Amino acid sequence: MKPIFQCQLVNDPFGDPALYVEFLFQKRAILFDLGDIHALSPRKLLRLSHIFVSHTHMDHFYGFDYLLRVCLGRAMTLHLYGPPGFIDNIEHRLGGYTWNLVENYVDELVFIAHEWGGGNRMQRARFPCRRAFDREPLPDAEVLEGALLDEHELRVRATVLDHKIPCLAFVLEESQHINIWKNRLEREGLPKGPWLQALKLAILQGKDDNYPIEVNWRDAEEEHVRRFTLGELKRSILRIVPGMRIGYVVDALYCPANVLRLEKLLKGVDWLYIEAGFTHEEAETAARKYHLTATQAGRIARRVDAKRMVPFHFSSRYQDRAEILVKEAKAAFMAIDKETG
């Protein structure tokens, strides 16, 4: 079964981080981190609906200005998420420009900024272009199980890591795939129709197995009505498979608390994009800067049982030697021995 989205690191592993996730059946995309995004065409940027920023160190956030430049004057609402202090960061970036002619813009760009530091509340504020991006408070949103975004088809959950400041790691989770066995539908004598969408929705909404589903249709002779429970239909005509899960981890200290949080968030992910900034020889430098080495990245990938790992966010000191970081991360990921440190 094809996943509903496709991921692309915007730059090579030395470029400032940005992971672009495109939805295959909609003109929509989401982005993890706002590093160097110049390689994304305006067409791609204009598809963005939600952007998740791990933290606002410059290399993860300076793309905000380019995004603003491309989206200004467009009818767009962009949701941005980040760690504590993020709403102020957005306000200050927007405050760096002069906005005396925007009140007459027909198409309005609006930013909705969300800031989360763990727990079950998320602060929010609105920045509408026509009001010169003045900050307007919004009521807090509720966050369950770290889910910053929760839609029928996907969720984005986060955890807070120690990078000497709070830094968010994310997992994008596609909802389960619900496939209908066409031959079984025929065998049961049931027609195709809008009721199948209602059936899928009931599953995505987490209705229990006793939830009633009614199927109505009319053929040449008569009107038909049949009633089922959700559980019956699950057994007879559906195949439900788990959706794809993608982890995104950047700047973090390698310490037990961080590893534990990542394990909780990312267990069994299909793809793990993870920073591998330094060789393990330079573990001391990495720790001083609150970053991961390639070996530590590989160990984390193994610890969370990732199916595949993509190491990136390499320090520029390895510019001509990217392969040593890739090799090192891979070796730790594939290692059979128990982790020792």
Residues in touch with Zn ion (CB under 5 A)? 57, 251
Residue (55 or 299) nearer to Zn ion, CB: 55
The nearest distance, CB 179 to Zn ion, in angstroms, is 42
Q: How far is the CB of 205 from Zn ion (least distance, A)?
A: 38
For residue 277, the minimal CB distance to Zn ion (Å) is: 10
Least distance (Å) from Zn ion to the CB of residue 149? 23
Q: Which is nearer to Zn ion, 163 or 280 (CB)?
A: 163
Minimum distance between the CB of residue 54 and Zn ion, rounded to whole angstroms? 8
* Minimum distance from residue 81 beta carbon to Zn ion (Å): 17
Q: Give the CB-nearest residue to Zn ion.
A: 57
Residue 127 vs 278, nearer CB to Zn ion: 278
Kindly tell me which of 167 and 329 has the beta carbon lying closer to Zn ion.
Answer: 167
Q: Which is nearer to Zn ion, 85 or 128 (CB)?
A: 85
Q: Which residues of 312-329 are buried (b: 16+ CB within 10 A; e: fewer)?
A: bbbbeebeeebeebbebb
CB-CB contact of 296 with 258 (8 Å) = no
Please state the closest distance from residue 285 (CB atom) to Zn ion, in A.
14
Return the axis-axis angle of helices 256-266 and 294-303, rounded to nearest 10°: 50
| Residue 163 C-beta: closest distance to Zn ion, Å | 6
Which residue's CB is nearer to Zn ion, number 31 or number 237?
A: 31
Nearer to Zn ion, 57 or 126 (CB): 57
Q: Which is nearer to Zn ion, 22 or 251 (CB)?
A: 251
